[in-house]
Amino acid sequence: MIFGRVKPLDAILATAEKRGLHRSLGAFQLTMLGIGAVIGTGIFVLTSEAAQKAGPGMMLSFVIAGFVCAVAALCYSELASMVPVAGSAYTYTYAVIGEPLAWMVGWALILEYALGASAVAVGWSGYFVGLLAHLSSFVPFLPDIAIPQWLAVGPSQGGLINLPAVVVSMLVTWLLVLGTSESAKVNAILVGVKILALTLFIAITLPAANGANFTPFMPTHLSGVAGAAASIFFAYVGFDAVSTAAEETKNPQRNVPIGLIASLGICTIFYLLVAAGAIGSPLGAQPVMDAAGRLLDPGTPELAARCQQIIAGGALEPLSCSKEALAHILRVFGWPIAGNFLAAAAIIALPSVVLMMMFGQTRVFFTMARDGLLPARFAAVHPKFHTPHVITIVTGVVVTIAAAFAPVGQLANYSNSGTLFAFAMVSIAVLVLRRTDPSRKRPFRTP
């Protein structure tokens, strides 16, 4: 039966040697790709949602989500060092467990990468529209520009199409067609911008943090911390895209584990420092309650109405209410220029997350096509740019359509479900391979 097949590891490696992609990436570039994939909508946009669910306890939520990803990263590192080819969780599942689950993982990765890229594009659009609306405060000689509601959000939010999200998705698709090393160079610059912006945020907020804001630490108890961890998980989604670049990496047995673990470690440290600065700000991070003292769910009309009441009463906009949380905190601290810079940095740098997620998706599709589970045409490599241009364009169309019409929260939830399924299959593959092929060389061995 065709759906009972397992593709041996040696056959996978032989195929990659014959029809492989150009190896041009080192450990530093892989780490930058990982950071570029991870630091994005999660920390820039979802911080306010985490505050509403867990209050100051969101720091513990970051630790929980990071631990889950760290364990998965160790499993990815072992398999990527053994099988340094494109395809990530799909390839590992095909080699160890079989074709039916590999097929399922391949399509689950669409939820992780393609819809994740769409979610980030929608998050980027919100920052972009917001900065244009306050353009005169950022660049005095320019007027404020208001993008009409019907062009700024999708149908579920009262609009027609999210035009900025469409534009950024198309630009990233074009860049990916041009080449991997070119994309990596642009990505490294954008990662530098993000790190600079977050470092500025930490430098301003941490020294002035108010320790009293950390009490009560878990106002919504462990259930709230767990709920926030589920949302924050999206802030880590994408690190595994490093493993999809294994076939384009020099010395992948050494460099892929370095890229996976280093990028995840750096991002976790940044997240905890940013969360501490946000909690210690004058806004604090206590959840917004209704008039009866009941917790309101994030993203609901009830919370939006309560936020309007608080602001109308002359109080500062709570952290849970802000659509651009980190920039809002800096403005409250009395650093409006730094706040505007951070908003601009988010606009400049978030496309790197779209780029990395789409990069991962195209490499999974490329490998599925090479294995015969998708039309062979999808495995075509451009004669000049040496990239899988056909599947890159197809993926770009899917990402663009989803970004144009779907809300960010729904896209993030879909992305999380695909990611968790892929993590589970990779972990199972490590256990199975230890039993079925214990003598195979493992350049990296997870505990």
Q: For the residues of 121-186, what is the DSSP string, one character each?
A: HHHHHHHHHHHHHTHHHHSTTS------HHHHS-GGGT-S--HHHHHHHHHHHHHHHH-HHHHHHH
9 lies in a domain?
no
374 lies in a domain?
yes
Whether the model pTM is above 0.85: no
What's the pLDDT at 60?
94
Residue 446, both tokens: 């997870």
Q: Based on the structure, what is the number of domains in the chain? A: 1
87 lies in a domain?
yes
Cα angle 83, 85, 89 (rounded to 5 degrees) comes to: 75
What's the pLDDT at 1?
33
Decide: 262 and 31 in contact? Cβ < 8 Å: yes
412 lies in a domain?
yes
> 297: buried, middle or exposed (CB in 10 Å: 19+, 13-18, 0-12)?
exposed
What's the pLDDT at 203?
94
What is the C-alpha radius of gyration for the chain, rounded to an integer number of angstroms? 22
Decide: 387 and 176 in contact? Cβ < 8 Å: yes
Q: Helices marked H in 9-162 — which ranges?
A: 9-18, 27-38, 41-45, 47-54, 58-82, 89-96, 99-109, 115-133, 135-138, 149-152
In sequence order, the 6+-apart residues with CB closer than 8 A to the CB of 436 are 96
Rounded-to-integer distance, Cα 271 and Cα 19, Å: 39
Decide: 123 and 41 in contact? Cβ < 8 Å: yes
What's the pLDDT at 2?
41
- Give 167-221 pLDDT, tens digit per residue: 999 998 988 888 766 566 776 787 788 888 899 999 999 998 888 999 889 999 9
303 lies in a domain?
no
Residue 112, both tokens: 């992780």
- In this structure, the number of other CB atoms found within 10 A of the CB of residue 347 comes to 22
Residue 303, both tokens: 């919370």
Rounded-to-integer distance, Cα 309 and Cα 205, Å: 27
Rounded-to-integer distance, Cα 307 and Cα 318, Å: 7
Rounded-to-integer distance, Cα 437 and Cα 329, Å: 53
Rounded-to-integer distance, Cα 359 and Cα 353, Å: 10
Domain that holds residue 404: 24-138+147-289+321-436
- Give 407-417 pLDDT, tens digit per residue: 776 787 788 88
What's 25's DSSP letter? B
For the domain that residue 110 is a member of, what is the CATH number? 1.20.1740.10
445 lies in a domain?
no
Tell me the helix, strand and coil percentages in the chain, rounded to 5.
70, 0, 25
Coil, helix or strand for 310? helix
Task: Pick out the chain residues at pLDDT < 70.
Answer: 1-5, 7, 9-10, 12-24, 41, 85-87, 156-157, 180-184, 187, 241, 244, 247, 299, 409
Rounded-to-integer distance, Cα 184 and Cα 39, Å: 15
> 241: buried, middle or exposed (CB in 10 Å: 19+, 13-18, 0-12)?
buried
Residue 249 phi/psi, 5° resolution? Answer: -110, 135
Written as one string, the DSSP assignment of 375-415 is: -GGGG---TTT-S-HHHHHHHHHHHHHHHHHS-HHHHHHHH
- Give 220-277 pLDDT, tens digit per residue: 999 999 988 887 887 787 777 677 677 677 777 788 888 888 888 888 898 999 999 9
Evaluate the omega torsion of the peptide bond into residue 287 and state whether it is cis, within 30 degrees of 0. Answer: no
